[in-house]
Amino acid sequence: MLNLRRPLLTKGLKISAIKYTRGLSGVAQSEPAQPEIKTSVPGPKTKALLKDLSSLQQADSVQLFADYDKCFGNYFVDADGNTFLDAFTQISSIPIGYNHPELLKAFNEEHALRSLINRPALGVFPGSDWPQKLRSVLMEVAPSGLNGVATMMCGSCSNENAFKTVFMWYRKKERCGKIDFTEEEMTSCMDNRPPGAPKLSILSFKGAFHGRTFGALSTTRSKPIHKLDCPAFDWPVAPFPRYKYPLEENQRENDKEDERCLEQVADVIENYKKKANPVAGVIVEPIQSEGGDHEASPAFFQKLQKICNQNGVALIVDEVQTGCGPTGRMWCYQHFDLPSPPDVVTFSKKMLTGGFYFNVETKPSHPYRVFNTWMGDPGKLILLEKVLNVIKNEKLLENVNETGTVLKCGLHELEKEFPNLVNSVRGRGTFLAFNSCTTECRDKINADLKKNGVLGGVCGEFAIRLRPALVFRKKHAEIYLDILRKTLKAI
């Protein structure tokens, strides 16, 4: 058990650092032993840079400017020279820490460098090694039972093109497998009318976040600011479970919450069928992230999949945040013991490239239907290959589970010590969150953590979320917990 009452780890801390490496500059680099705050947060250089950037664009979302030459491992160094333990990692998108030596040398080999600089239009002129690269990198970690993959640029466009794939699959079923189009379909689609532009929908959940591009935005339900002023499709929404914690003390109520939500999913699918706007796909996050780190039970997901199968609806699992190991499994849905794989699994962030897995039997029958100029980036697969090798060689999924246990146990102890400030500790692996009593209190805790040298993130109304890299070890967990305790004690 962690001793959470010991003094804050500050000067003189004796913690072994990650072994240093020499990057492209030849300068030795090693992970700091602890955070170090030298100025106010944000500091004067950051404020000046923000003023400069704001003269060019809307930049009010910017928190800090980084010195990425100095960031290393689990530590983020800002423009003012302040060093932070990073438990947020670029919104959950840094898989193995900053400036990992394996990634720094990824393009030392000439063929890799040429693949990077001659960025091809992959849908038209892929490199001769592209099929092999897809098989040896992305298909090596593909969800079991899915034998196809399409690469994309980001999480939003991964979801967008997953929707398109599902709609095309659904319409092909309605045509009894025919792949030719009628003249009426081809003409009407150009005027955005049925039958060429059919009335079909994607069901998502309250609190969901699936992206900010136009189609994805109609499935995003986390915050009004994302959606205001943008026209939206008539696509349905259903409630996602909101559990009471601790889970073991509220199982009966949480089981009822599962049933309540699932009943409404089935009702919504039936109602949209009656209003001639049938649901072709259901998209769901294994853990709702931006919306507040809400989780659901394996039983919920098993029954959700059953409802989809009964109604001929595709199940799309959005693993943009949860994919590539932060929950202790390569894919979070693997915790749910589904009897068969989801129909589509989307990914991005820690996977470095965007994209989605599917079964090739459901791929569009015609070219250019799921297509854009770049269709991803070969350079990202070169980096991802290095990342996956590090995950395997350093047994990072095991590390995530071990570190996650330390973090979660420590958070539960703080929950007992500060019940007026911390509650509802939850999550899997190091993909964790806790709530505070009010939004204002939550925001103060997060801001004070930053002043004390820890970067974290907020989500939903009350939650602080942890999104560390896979190389976040037990020693980093102890530093995080010590600083969090100091922060809570001062409120």
Kindly report, residue by residue over 159-172, the tens digit of the pLDDT: 999 999 999 999 99
Weakest-pLDDT range from 13-27, 306-320, 323-337, 431-445 = 13-27
Segment 26-72, tens digit of pLDDT: 555 789 999 999 999 999 999 999 999 999 999 999 999 999 999 99
What mean pLDDT is predicted for residues 105-110? 96
Which H or E element spans position 102? helix 101-104
What pLDDT, on the 0 to 100 scale, is given for residue 46?
A: 97
* pLDDT tier at 318, thresholds 50, 70, 90: very high
* pLDDT tier at 16, thresholds 50, 70, 90: very low
* pLDDT tier at 226, thresholds 50, 70, 90: very high
Asked if residues 315 and 282 have their Cβ atoms less than 8 Å apart, the reply is yes
Q: Which of 10, 182, 187, 373 is catalytic?
A: 373
* pLDDT tier at 8, thresholds 50, 70, 90: very low
What is the overall mean pLDDT for the chain?
Answer: 94
* Residue 349 a catalytic site member: yes
What mean pLDDT is predicted for residues 256-264? 98
The SS3 of residue 332 is: helix
As a whole number of angstroms, the distance between CA 158 and CA 154 comes to: 6
In sequence order, what are the residues at sequence separation of 6 or more whose Cβ sits closer than 8 angstroms to the Cβ of residue 261? Answer: 238, 239, 240, 241, 296, 300
As a whole number of angstroms, the distance between CA 166 and CA 170 comes to: 6
What pLDDT, on the 0 to 100 scale, is given for residue 30?
A: 87
201-205 and 237-238 strand pairing: parallel
Q: Which of 349, 350, 408, 475 is catalytic?
A: 349
Q: Which of 65, 209, 356, 472 is catalytic?
A: 209
2: pLDDT strictly greater than 80: no
What pLDDT, on the 0 to 100 scale, is given for residue 14?
A: 36
Q: Which of 318, 343, 377, 482 is catalytic?
A: 318
404: pLDDT strictly greater than 60: yes
What pLDDT, on the 0 to 100 scale, is given for residue 29?
A: 74
Amino acid at 345: V
To the nearest whole percent, how much of the chain has pLDDT over 70? 94
The SS3 of residue 21 is: strand
